Amino acid sequence: MSKLAVVALGGNALLKGNQEGTIVEQENNAMETCKTLVSLIERDYRIVITHGNGPQVGNLILMNEAGNEKFYLPKMPLDVCVAESEGQIAHIVAQQLERLLLEHEIDKEVISLLTHVEVDGNDPAFQNPTKPVGQFFSKEEADKMAEINGWQFREDPRKRGWRRVVPSPKPLFVRSANIIKQLTDEGHIVICVGGGGIPVIKNERGMIHGVEAVIDKDLASSVLATQIGADELIILTDIPKAYINFHKENEVALNDLSLEEAESYLLNGEFAAGSMGPKIEAAINFVRNGGKIAEINEAGELKEAHHGTRIIGNNG
């Protein structure tokens, strides 16, 4: 059977930092990203598509606040906003991908699944928010919103501004992964684990309920890739490689790494917690748990069959 890859798209695959976020902008961005996905399919990959939602869910939170203040509409909890953004983004990606499949005469179905991902209710992340969501603000704007809403903000590692941060517990288990695997085995393309999936906690009776959090999509994608036995985990971002000494005079791009090398760089603090850190951690987790290759790359580079930073397992 052909290779199975989980391809994790960044939230900026649909909405870039300098854009307003109109539907036309998001559709155009999705089209460019989907061209990369089609290139993988033409290279005989079966793919599962996951995606971030940082900009989109942040905007939904702001809409919640504005609607509550102006029209007295009830606010929705964060897990519901994640579900909304997961459906919204999957709809946009599926439309563009299906158009390209038709153009390339590829006979595959695109299926979108709202996905629950289990987390631990005692995860320390609930006491230490780190996951950036929404747009970038100036320091003055961030301070004002923090005072009004009680939100927490952190400066972007790449100095693009300040973003709200929310709890980001570790994903433990992707529910319905067996269904996702079955669909890919049948030749379908699945869009799932959007925004890291909808965070839920399971009680002693096996019942689930949503929690106020956003799961890192790369870590959740790694868990999914392991559960379905994927050959590769491909994390697409807006830079072609991971770097050590990032944005310093002695910056070095990383190519192929062993698991041990990647773990050493991560332990030495080479990768920012709210940026490249979770991507490297997700790649390490996948390879450590039997995955062949984890790759971090820019969409355009992947389309040309080049590779970015790859962590290669013993069976890669």
Catalytic residue list? 11-12, 131, 217, 279
Indicate the residue type of 127: Q
Beta bridge partners of 190: 48, 111
Instruction: Tell me how far the alpha carbon of residue 212 is from its chain's centroid.
Output: 18
Q: What angle do CA 181, 186, 189 make, to 5 degrees?
A: 70
94 and 110 in contact (C-beta within 8 Å)? Answer: yes
**DSSP conformation class of 72:** -
187 and 108 in contact (C-beta within 8 Å)? Answer: yes
The sign one gets for the Cα dihedral 157, 5, 310, 92 is negative
| CA 77/CA 35 separation, integer angstroms | 34
Of 117, 122, 287, the closest CA to residue 215 belongs to 117
| CA 226/CA 288 separation, integer angstroms | 10
Of 59, 63, 50, the closest CA to residue 21 belongs to 59
142 and 192 in contact (C-beta within 8 Å)? Answer: no
Indicate the residue type of 1: M
Dihedral over alpha carbons 9, 10, 13, 19 (to 10 degrees): 170
